[in-house]
Amino acid sequence: MTSPTRIHVRGDSPYDVVVGTGVLAELTTLLKPGVRTVAVIGPETLPELTRPVAAALAESGYEVVELPVPDGEQAKTVEVAARLWSELGRHGVTRSDAVVGVGGGATTDLAGFVAATWLRGVQVVLVPTTLLAMVDAAVGGKNGIDTPEGKNLVGTFLPPAGVLCELSTLGSMPKADYVAGLAEIIKGGFIADPEILRLIEADPEAATRPDGPHTRELIERKIQVKADVVGADLREAGLREILNYGHTLAHAIERDEHYAIRHGEAVAIGMVYAAELSRLSGRADVVARTRAILTSVGLPISYRADAWPRLRDHMRLDKKNRGAKQRFVVLDDLARPGRLEGPAEELLEAAYKEISA
């Protein structure tokens, strides 16, 4: 066991993100007093992830209910959420009890949403087991499910009671999934912490390994970026929008791919698009650096040329939009994100031509 790091997330409902190896014993410290029953939500295809969590809770005296769900985005549907609500009712989960979500970002999104909507809100502790979930999805209190019209369009804001990042789970990740998670870390470098970029540029190959010399530092730096932002703006009233850098096009690509593409791969392409928008609108020019760092770790930087009409339609249904006015997060400078509101259609298309394959 390594000494755990505790990253504090401020706000009206503050909580800690615990990071380390062999830190599962810290799980019970994140639950608030008075809990009797804990519902553990995890992917049905990966029982090896949920069993240790359920066992640790049972050994601590909690009554544990295991609720398996489909893996990935297939779990984030109203049908799955409705089944979980029924299970919570059948097992007598009350407002003083808790939900624990174990798995990747889709599972933690679902667990947070179900916890937020059951009895108008029960506490939830998230145990992310993928790189993407650790550095992004599980931190911040945004929970959601998908609809046929788009990703995360139905959701809630409920800060977790805590987040536990057990780094040993990263060792079993397929490399392509791990690399995809790097996109969110790289995003944190461009919008807030350039040291992240420098660490990856110094040894890109090491950055693609869970046992890399800077893995823990990269994870903790990205969590700190998100903690600082969401602690100041939980409900995305202003500052938190910067976390959507690269995501407007990314979400459109995910929908175009019927969610078969990895989220991080879509975000990588979306960041190149956002960098092109920044450059073409006379702001920061980080295009070359964006392309170089993403390419160095094996992430994609382009998308199909013929997809633009479909992507343009998808982007019109984006959470950042206000009425008919589109809003994009761009960079005024490195680590200085800004907003591009109501850009001309010609500018949007010109930026896409720069990234189309």
Alpha-helical runs (H) found in the chain = 27-30, 47-59, 78-90, 105-117, 131-132, 175-191, 194-202, 204-207, 215-232, 247-256, 263-280, 287-296, 308-315, 345-355
The answer to whether 37 is annotated as binding is no
The answer to whether 130 is annotated as binding is yes
Active site residue 244: yes
307-331 burial by CB neighbour count: b if 16+ within 10 A, else e?
bbeebbebbeebbbbeeeebbbbbb
Active site residue 142: yes
| DSSP structural state of residue 31 | S
The answer to whether 76 is annotated as binding is yes
Q: How far apart are CA 349 and CA 276, in angstroms?
A: 11
User: How distant, in Å, are the alpha carbons of 78, 184, 314 from that of 151?
Assistant: 12, 17, 10
The answer to whether 238 is annotated as binding is no
Annotated catalytic residue within 251, 255, 279, 314: 251
The answer to whether 151 is annotated as binding is yes
Instruction: Characterize the bridge pairing of strands 15-20 and 5-9.
Output: antiparallel
The answer to whether 108 is annotated as binding is yes
Q: How far apart are CA 192 and CA 9, in angstroms?
A: 16
Active site residue 251: yes
The answer to whether 222 is annotated as binding is no
Q: How far apart are CA 21 and CA 4, in angstroms?
A: 7
Annotated catalytic residue within 187, 247, 279, 291: 247
The answer to whether 109 is annotated as binding is yes
Active site residue 184: yes
Annotated catalytic residue within 142, 187, 221, 262: 142
Cα 324 to its chain centre, rounded Å, is 27
**HEC letters along 58-85:** HHCCCEEEEEEECCHHHHCCHHHHHHHH
The answer to whether 55 is annotated as binding is no
Annotated catalytic residue within 263, 314, 319, 327: 263
Instruction: Characterize the bridge pairing of strands 142-147 and 150-157.
Output: antiparallel
Annotated catalytic residue within 26, 66, 166, 184: 184
Active site residue 120: yes
Active site residue 236: yes
At residue 205, what are phi and psi to the nearest 5 degrees?
A: -65, -40
Active site residue 226: yes
Annotated catalytic residue within 244, 265, 291, 327: 244
The answer to whether 107 is annotated as binding is yes
Annotated catalytic residue within 240, 255, 291, 314: 240
| DSSP structural state of residue 2 | P
Annotated catalytic residue within 66, 236, 241, 276: 236
Q: How many CA atoms lie less than 13 Å away from 182 in the CB half-sphere? A: 30
Whether 138 and 160 have beta carbons less than 8 Å apart is answered as yes
Can you say which residues are annotated as belonging to the binding site? 71-76, 105-109, 129-130, 142, 151, 184, 247, 263
Can you say which residues are annotated as belonging to the binding site for Zn(2+)? 184, 247, 263
Can you say which residues are annotated as belonging to the binding site for NAD(+)? 71-76, 105-109, 129-130, 142, 151
Active site residues: 120, 142, 184, 226, 236, 240, 244, 247, 251, 263
